[in-house]
Amino acid sequence: MAETSQSPPLYTKTAWTNSGQYEAAVTVGMTPFRAMKQIVVPQLIANLLPNLTNILLDLVKDTALVYNIGIVEIMGQANIISSLGFKYLETYLDALIVYIVICWVIARLFQLTEFLMRRRYSPVNA
């Protein structure tokens, strides 16, 4: 079941890595674990970060849908608080600001991580 639910962007990125690089690393004497750790995984991480950022941000945004199932989260709390004081606009604007701040912080963290990974693992131009 987990194999069928793997998103296409993640699957295509795992298929993106060149198997020749892994084979070359093993040929020159690296152990398979070391070849994966030092050759394949850094390439995967650098190429997967944008997709993982989108998936995580979608997950944060979709928590509002979970409220409909019965779990109280940010919008649920806003609904409860606004019904107590009948200040719906202010409460929902506060919830909007919380969502924007959470998504902005997550996006910036992943942007910084992506920048550091690309700088660390990018090929050197000679």
54-84 pLDDT tens trace: 888 888 777 766 666 655 678 888 888 998 9
CA angle (48 as vertex; 45, 49 as ends), nearest 5: 85
pLDDT recorded at residue 114: 84
3-state secondary structure of 9: helix
**Span of 9-13, 28-32, 67-71, 91-95 with lowest mean pLDDT:** 9-13
Q: Which residues of 32-66 are buried (b: 16+ CB within 10 A; e: fewer)?
A: eeebbeebbeebebbbbbeebbeeebeeeeeeeee
Residue 97 pLDDT greater than 80, yes or no = yes
8-13 average pLDDT score: 52
Residue 18 pLDDT greater than 90, yes or no = no
Q: pTM of the predicted model, to two decimals?
A: 0.56
